[in-house]
Amino acid sequence: MRTLLAVVVWLHMVGRIWSTTDVQPSVCFAMIARNERDNLEANLPRWRALGLVDAIVVGIDDRSTDATAFAVVEALPETPHWIFYYHFEGFGRARSRVLQEAWLKFPQMSHVFIADPDWEPDASTIKKSDLDFLHGAFTFTIFDRNSHTTRRSHWLVRHQPNITFAYRLHEQLILPFGHQSTRMKDLQWQVREVEVEGRKSWHSMLNHGHTQSYKRYLFDLELLRQDEADLGDDAHVLYYRASTSFAALEALTGRGQHEITPEMKALIDDGIDAYKRRLAPHHLANPMTHREQTWASARFLGYAYQFFRFDVQEATHWYNRCIEIDPARADCPVYLAKLQREHGSIVSSWAAIAPALKRSLPERSFANNFYVQDCLLPLEGGLTLLGQFAKGGQPKPNFTAATELPPKFVLGWRLLRTAQDSCTSEKFDLFVIETADTVAAAEATFRRLATLKPGGTAQLETGCFRGAPHEDEQRSLLEKWGLRRCE
């Protein structure tokens, strides 16, 4: 009898998954919240306006002290909802509980969207008609609150029982066996994690200040240590323990150079140790290990040795490993080029960054750093090329011997000006890896050297090159950065 009942249930589920006639997608929002009234009041009406919320389930942390529940009802007055309170034991368990409640209360919904209160939808990208019944999961883009990176998420799935989350922090969606997770549809949907100054959230009400504060990262580290105590040498936990240690370090010190205190040293040592353990051979050989986190571990390990341990050899090693893992990304070529340039090897610096200058930003599932691509890549490219023609602000012989501005010199100028426009645009307001004085001095050197050639200044301003590019100055590279042959 049990076997027959199981078959009936299975056939019912298959029918729900594959039926595509006379059925429109319906979406259940699944959220966890603590003191999120302001964010919910601001963002839920945006989701409602898109016609996307057919039901909503909100689990409220029982430590919440504001009117979070009222905000849900007020923002979605005619939407079926279920609001309950839970005791916090980690974000993974909390989200799992919300999904259990969503299945119990709204099993008729076809899709479930796991969202956060601070997610603001880009209305121009989101269409409910993009959903279907043939795919088990749907990926979309999240702009991270750091304003520099994006990630792809599949927290929009076909509604099923037994969907859970693993880990207390940086929780990971786990789809049940037999779910159509292998049938994944990429959507063009975009959402942004928005942190508005003055808007109350659980971070501000816990005196974290904001989500990128030192106190917040200490809170995160405590959850990660609990996961590590339970799971031991887990690749996911190791990656996030390392990255959170360095995030806490940056939040503690800010940018610039600082004398390393015992507190700072402990964070540096902890981060490096966790990254190295994350990159151990048994993790690298495991096909189930998250490749994007592997790449990021090598990237940040190189960064740590470059800026915190000042170890050129180790930094070079890990940047090269990073490039081997994903040659198309610009992050590690940029930092490796800076490292080589600052230690006197302009040839090696150009060899590191030239391939990255020829590529567009590839989209990966994790840490798509458009700030590096738009700002730091042209900045380092411009400084590296300037180093080929000047040293200490004085022209090198290879520049004085030329009768006109070399194409690479014009390219270097264009890259520097592109970086200045990008780094100080509405999106960004700083150079990060260089000071404003360094960039201003480079611009002045470019301008001064250009005056040594007839018509050089005008050539820079018009953005054109004369003569045939050499073999390493392929026309495609020049054209990619907006240069053309002079008339």
| 411 and 480, same domain (yes or no) | yes
pLDDT at 235 over 60: yes
Quickly state the pLDDT bin for 259 (edges 50, 70, 90): confident
From residue 58, give the alpha-carbon distance in Å to each of 31, 47, 64, 99, 460: 5, 15, 13, 10, 58
Quote the pLDDT of residue 44: 97
Nearest to 474 by CA among 408, 413, 416, 410: 408
What distance in Å separates the CA atoms of residue 3 and residue 167, rounded to the nearest whole number?
A: 34
pLDDT at 178 over 80: no
| 190 and 232, same domain (yes or no) | no
| 221 and 190, same domain (yes or no) | no
| 453 and 395, same domain (yes or no) | yes
Averaged pLDDT for residues 205-227: 80
Rounded (10°) angle between helices 331-342 and 312-325? 150
CB 323 within 8 A of CB 332: yes
- Among 125-129, 167-171, 176-180, 368-372, name the one with the lowest average pLDDT: 176-180
Among 203, 224, 240, give the residue marking a domain's end. 203
Quote the pLDDT of residue 427: 58
Averaged pLDDT for residues 63-91: 96
| 185 and 220, same domain (yes or no) | no
Averaged pLDDT for residues 229-240: 97
| 249 and 387, same domain (yes or no) | no
HSE-CB at 446 with a 13 A cutoff on CA atoms is 26
From residue 22, give the alpha-carbon distance in Å to each of 15, 133, 349, 429: 13, 12, 60, 51
Torsion of CA 128, 130, 133, 135, to 10 degrees: -130
Residue 323 lies in a domain: no
Per the structure, the complete domain to which residue 260 belongs is given by 212-310
Among 179, 203, 227, give the residue marking a domain's end. 203
Task: Residue 108: give its domain's CATH number.
Answer: 3.90.550.10
Taking every pair of Cα atoms in the chain, the longest distance, rounded to a whole number of angstroms, is 93
What distance in Å separates the CA atoms of residue 97 and residue 207, rounded to the nearest whole number?
A: 27
pLDDT at 2 over 80: no
Nearest to 61 by CA among 174, 206, 165, 183: 206
| 222 and 135, same domain (yes or no) | no
| 242 and 123, same domain (yes or no) | no
HSE-CB at 247 with a 13 A cutoff on CA atoms is 17
| 370 and 402, same domain (yes or no) | yes
Q: Which residues contact 55 (CB under 8 A, 6 or more apart)?
A: 26, 27, 28, 29, 79, 80, 81, 82, 102, 105, 106, 109
**Residue-wise pLDDT tens digits, 330-384:** 999 999 999 999 999 999 999 999 999 999 999 999 999 999 999 999 999 999 9
Quickly state the pLDDT bin for 9 (edges 50, 70, 90): very low
Residue 4 lies in a domain: no
- Among 15-24, 128-137, 154-163, name the one with the lowest average pLDDT: 15-24
What distance in Å separates the CA atoms of residue 96 and residue 360, rounded to the nearest whole number?
A: 38
pLDDT at 451 over 80: yes
Quote the pLDDT of residue 13: 45
What distance in Å separates the CA atoms of residue 286 and residue 141, rounded to the nearest whole number?
A: 27
pLDDT at 151 over 70: yes
Quote the pLDDT of residue 263: 94
Quote the pLDDT of residue 203: 56
Map residue 242 onto helix, strand or coil: helix
- What whole-number percentage of the chain has pLDDT above 70? 89
Task: Tokens for 206, please give them.
Answer: 């816990």
pLDDT at 255 over 80: no
Quote the pLDDT of residue 461: 87
| 97 and 199, same domain (yes or no) | yes
pTM of the model: 0.88
- What whole-number percentage of the chain has pLDDT above 90? 73
Quote the pLDDT of residue 401: 87
Quote the pLDDT of residue 196: 81
CB 195 within 8 A of CB 210: yes
pLDDT at 23 over 90: no
HSE-CB at 284 with a 13 A cutoff on CA atoms is 14
Task: Tokens for 354, please give them.
Answer: 């030239």
Which one is predicted more confidently, 14 or 461? 461
Quote the pLDDT of residue 431: 83
pLDDT at 387 over 70: yes
Torsion of CA 464, 468, 472, 474, to 10 degrees: 60
Quote the pLDDT of residue 5: 42
Beta bridge partners of 30: 57, 114
Which one is predicted more confidently, 84 or 10? 84
Rounded (10°) angle between helices 436-450 and 407-423? 150
pLDDT at 114 over 60: yes
Averaged pLDDT for residues 243-265: 88
CB 442 within 8 A of CB 462: no
Quote the pLDDT of residue 411: 95
Quote the pLDDT of residue 195: 84
Residue 234 lies in a domain: yes
Total count of domains within the chain: 3
What distance in Å separates the CA atoms of residue 163 and residue 180, rounded to the nearest whole number?
A: 12
Residue 341 lies in a domain: no
Which one is predicted more confidently, 242 or 209? 242
Residue 321 lies in a domain: no
Question: How high does pLDDT run on average in the chain?
Answer: 90
Residue 345 lies in a domain: no
Map residue 474 onto helix, strand or coil: coil
Residue 326 lies in a domain: no
| 306 and 432, same domain (yes or no) | no
Nearest to 275 by CA among 315, 231, 333, 223: 315
Pick the most confident of 9-13, 14-18, 52-56, 357-361: 52-56
| 248 and 288, same domain (yes or no) | yes
Beta bridge partners of 31: 58
Among 153, 169, 203, give the residue marking a domain's end. 203
Residue 8 lies in a domain: no
3-state helix, strand, coil in the chain (%, to 5): 50, 15, 35
Nearest to 121 by CA among 103, 143, 100: 143
pLDDT at 4 over 50: no
